[in-house]
Amino acid sequence: MLLNLRLRHVRPLLLALGLGSALGAQAQGQVFRCGNEYTNDAQRAAQRGCTALDMLPVTVPGTKVVRTEPPAPTSPRSAPSAPEARALPRVDASEQRARDADARLILEAELRKAEARLAQLQAEFKQGEPDKQGIEGRNHQLYLDRVQALREAVARQQSDVSSLKRELARLPAAARTVAATP
């Protein structure tokens, strides 16, 4: 009897949930295809002679919103907590100078390569009038295409050289003196 009483109360609940989910699926409405356009407006679809599509209900999974509280403001005098101190390992000053010196040597080597490549491209470019090659004597458009490609390559290489020079200028002064002493 107790089981029968519980089922009597559960059945309407299950029925309501089932009916609610069915209505939710119906709330999406019918989708019509009008050529390359899709619409869910039945009147507009009827006017334009669109075809109804048989589709399963579309559900889009929601994104999980992670709420984080902003960090508590700290005074400049307060020391970082233990987890914050462990998050950023400290590097010995001499080791950091050695890393900076290595970085400077690598950048200088890259700069030398980039400047050599730039000089090679500029020599080939010849101030916008490179020598014609092969079929370019008979097909002027091929020549113009190659001149444009060379012009773009020279501009890219000049940009690379200037970027490397900026990176070298950003290095700390200590790295400059360490790299200059050997």
- pLDDT number for residue 3: 45
Cα separation, 163 vs 64, in Å, equals: 41
The pTM of this model reads 0.46
Mean pLDDT of 147-152: 95
d(CA 41, CA 154): 56
Local confidence band at 172 (pLDDT 50, 70, 90 cut-offs): confident
